[in-house]
Protein backbone atom coordinates (compact mmCIF):
# COMPACT_ATOMS: atom_id res chain seq x y z
CA UNK A 1 0.00 0.00 0.00
CA UNK A 2 0.98 3.61 -0.58
CA UNK A 3 0.25 4.47 3.08
CA UNK A 4 -2.03 7.35 2.19
CA UNK A 5 -5.63 7.99 1.29
CA UNK A 6 -6.70 8.61 -2.28
CA UNK A 7 -8.00 12.01 -3.30
CA UNK A 8 -11.30 12.76 -4.96
CA UNK A 9 -9.29 13.78 -8.03
CA UNK A 10 -7.73 10.31 -8.21
CA UNK A 11 -11.15 8.67 -7.99
CA UNK A 12 -12.42 11.04 -10.67
CA UNK A 13 -9.41 10.24 -12.84
CA UNK A 14 -10.25 6.55 -12.64
CA UNK A 15 -13.80 7.37 -13.71
CA UNK A 16 -12.54 9.44 -16.63
CA UNK A 17 -10.34 6.53 -17.67
CA UNK A 18 -13.35 4.22 -17.85
CA UNK A 19 -15.30 6.81 -19.83
CA UNK A 20 -12.45 7.38 -22.29
CA UNK A 21 -11.35 5.37 -25.30
CA UNK A 22 -8.27 4.31 -23.30
CA UNK A 23 -10.41 1.72 -21.51
CA UNK A 24 -11.98 0.31 -24.69
CA UNK A 25 -10.27 -3.05 -24.14
CA UNK A 26 -11.28 -3.36 -20.48
CA UNK A 27 -14.16 -5.74 -19.76
CA UNK A 28 -15.58 -6.58 -16.36
CA UNK A 29 -12.60 -5.63 -14.26
CA UNK A 30 -12.66 -4.30 -10.71
CA UNK A 31 -10.61 -1.13 -10.69
CA UNK A 32 -9.36 -0.48 -7.15
CA UNK A 33 -8.68 3.17 -6.36
CA UNK A 34 -7.59 2.63 -2.76
CA UNK A 35 -3.82 3.23 -2.64
CA UNK A 36 -3.24 -0.52 -2.79
CA UNK A 37 -5.03 -1.42 0.43
CA UNK A 38 -7.11 -4.11 -1.34
CA UNK A 39 -3.94 -6.23 -1.40
CA UNK A 40 -3.85 -6.38 2.40
CA UNK A 41 -7.18 -8.20 2.56
CA UNK A 42 -9.88 -8.25 5.18
CA UNK A 43 -10.82 -10.77 7.84
CA UNK A 44 -13.97 -12.73 7.12
CA UNK A 45 -16.49 -11.91 9.83
CA UNK A 46 -17.16 -15.56 10.61
CA UNK A 47 -13.40 -16.18 11.08
CA UNK A 48 -12.62 -13.15 13.27
CA UNK A 49 -12.51 -15.15 16.53
CA UNK A 50 -10.09 -17.72 15.10
CA UNK A 51 -7.82 -15.01 13.73
CA UNK A 52 -7.92 -13.21 17.07
CA UNK A 53 -6.87 -16.40 18.89
CA UNK A 54 -4.09 -16.99 16.36
CA UNK A 55 -2.72 -13.46 16.77
CA UNK A 56 -2.92 -13.70 20.55
CA UNK A 57 -0.92 -16.94 20.43
CA UNK A 58 1.72 -15.36 18.21
CA UNK A 59 1.95 -12.41 20.57
CA UNK A 60 2.59 -14.74 23.54
CA UNK A 61 5.35 -16.55 21.63
CA UNK A 62 7.02 -13.26 20.68
CA UNK A 63 6.91 -11.92 24.25
Tell me which of 59 and 63 has the higher pLDDT.
59
Contact call for residues 36 and 2 (beta carbons, < 8 A): yes
Q: State the chain's mean pLDDT as an integer.
A: 85
pLDDT in tens, 32-43: 899 888 887 766
Integer angstrom CA distances of residue 16 from 27, 40, 58: 16, 26, 45
Is the confidence at residue 9, as pLDDT, over 80?
Answer: yes
Residue 63 pLDDT: 63
- pTM above threshold 0.85: no
Is the confidence at residue 2, as pLDDT, over 80?
Answer: yes
Integer angstrom CA distances of residue 19 from 2, 12, 22, 35, 44: 25, 10, 8, 21, 33
Amino acid sequence: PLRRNVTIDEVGGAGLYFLSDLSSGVTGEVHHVDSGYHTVGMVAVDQAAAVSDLLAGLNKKAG
